[in-house]
Structure 1
């Protein structure tokens, strides 16, 4: 049995999440008040999206804290998948919020109302600055962590939504085109569905233990089979526990009856090969010789 494990850590991640939570609470409260006073659906929809940002950031923060907890006898992987669950939840909220916005946008488009555009302009401008700051805080961590990416996407889309609301406010102020409020809300919602579905797909793949998209199973098997004294790698399972921990477990049939020390030497080669070429960093191998079992790559257990 072989085992290789690597860790990555972002020390400022939790602090940046907390700052982003506080910023978005302020934005949400301001936009709800402003939306009610101005009568702007786009501003209220932006506030609703910001509220979902607050919830998603809190979920991401809790998940990030849980992921650091140590493993135990009844939780052998610890809470490492908490961040994947958080990403899944956040992706679902993006889609749900988007559907609600579409329904309201259609209703308002049929019955447009006059809107206090000045308040819309100022509040959307403030939201752009605050959301922009949050986006910058989480940008680096979002590249390597799906949990942070889900929160980052929430904030990025909300910043873009605020830009759209600002444009709409200017059009309403100078041209009195009030239906644009509903159109912008609709477009924001469509974009939310697009990014939400992408995150939902990625997090679902990890939760379902599918083979990571960057790993080609056939190439992995072929590479290991080329190592001297190896007959065939079979009964293979490859999955991602989270963003940076990829597992392989398999049976390895040898061409001859080797010693344990010889197996260790070959195992070291396999570990280096899979880590460097396929980014697989947690390996469990069951060695075999002349064992009468199925030798297919994939075997349904």
Structure 2
């Protein structure tokens, strides 16, 4: 079966690399700026960005590793390794967000003084830098890249919130806005972290990809005259993008090998629009007894 190629995927490693260096450089500026302005929101976001920098570095490494071909140890190659980056990213943000909440919630009731004007300048810089990183990753197709891109988009939204908060603080006496922003940013990040972990775990646990329907596959294959029965179907994804299907087909006759080859090609053609990248087919005779009858 013809495999689907995503040409933007070839540039994804470079995109992650650029985003990594952008994020790491800005994290250093952010830590200095957060200490200077005495802003918990900025220091919290610095921790978030530090986690993102680690995540981006891991993503870059795992994405390069995932392009390696099959070996004696890994017969499917290293595609699934890119998932490790997505899971580590999520765990880093989970731990970081909980840490931020433990610091920000007490500050709500006893907020310290912050330099609102300094926060404003850092927020503008944060929007520009993180926006550039999101722009570099916007065409990423791997689950890993989508997770990283989402993290960076969250940073942009966080900086927009800091920008608005700093403007309010410049003109009103409302120091509680700084820790409040920290809490809101952390809760938003946690919400998305759980969503991403659920997606990653679905792949790790070999769940059926959301874009694939066993019912549709069965209906399409039943339209092939030679096929009497379809069973023992297994569908899973290597990395959230590359999907694999194995199935047994009971045929209505004893076909020659050359005829079976044509049937296999027909099966693959029927599945060309079903988001399946790799198909393994086992044919059975009409009177053959298969122990694996369920699909």
Same fold, TM-score > 0.5, yes or no = yes
2:192 is the counterpart of 1:207: no
- Aligned residue number for residue 63 of structure 1: 62
Residue deviations 1:75-125 (CA, integer Å, cap 9, x gap): 211211111221122122222222222222111112111111121111121
Distance 2:258 2:184 in 1: 63
2:121 counterpart of 1:91: no
Matched, 1:135 2:131: no
1:253 maps to which residue? Answer: 250
Q: Give the superposition deviation at 1:20.
A: 1.3
Count of equivalent residues: 293
Structure 1 stretches of 5 or more lacking a match? none
Taking the aligned partners of 2:290 and 2:11, their CA distance within structure 1 comes to: 50
Alignment pair present for 1:156 and 2:153? yes
In the alignment, structure 1 residue 8 sits paired with structure 2 residue 6: yes
Q: Residue 230 of structure 2 aligns to a residue in which SS?
A: strand
| SS at 1:238 equivalent | strand
The TM-score, its normalising length taken from structure 2, stands at 0.94
Other structure's SS at 2:139 match: helix
- Contact 1:274–1:281 under 8 Å retained in 2: no
What's the offset of the Cα at 1:21? 1.4
Q: Which residue of 2 aligns with 1:244?
A: 241
Aligned-residue offset at 1:295: 5.7
Per-residue deviation at 1:6? 4.0
Q: Is the 8 A contact 1:271 1:281 kept in 2?
A: no
- Whether the 8 Å CA contact 1:95–1:196 is kept in 2: the answer is yes
Contact between 1:8 and 1:244, CA under 8 Å: does it hold in 2? no
Return 287-296 or 152-161, whichever deviates more: 287-296
Does structure 1 residue 269 correspond to structure 2 residue 266? yes
- Please report the TM-score for the alignment, with normalisation by the length of structure 1: 0.93
Q: Secondary structure at the match of 1:172?
A: helix
Q: Deviations over 1:22-65 (max 9, x none)?
A: 11112111111111122110010110111111011101100111
1:193 is matched with 190
Any idea what SS the aligned residue of 1:209 has?
coil
Does the 8 A contact of 1:229 with 1:256 survive in 2?
Answer: yes
State the SS of the aligned residue for 1:250. strand
SS at the partner of 1:23? helix
Instruction: Give every structure 1 segment of 4 or more consecutive aligned residues whose post-TM-superposition deviation is greater than 6 Å.
Output: none
Are positions 1:218 and 2:215 aligned together?
yes
Give 1:191 deviation, angstroms: 0.9
* 1:12 alignment partner, SS class: helix
Cα deviation 1:142-190 (Å, max 9, x = unaligned): xx21111111011110111111112111222211210011111111111
The RMSD of aligned alpha carbons is 1.5
The whole-number CA distance in structure 2 between the counterparts of 1:48 and 1:153 is: 17
The answer to whether structure 1 residue 291 and structure 2 residue 288 are counterparts is yes
How do 1:36-115 residues align onto structure 2 when only pairs under 5 Å count?
A: 36-115=35-114
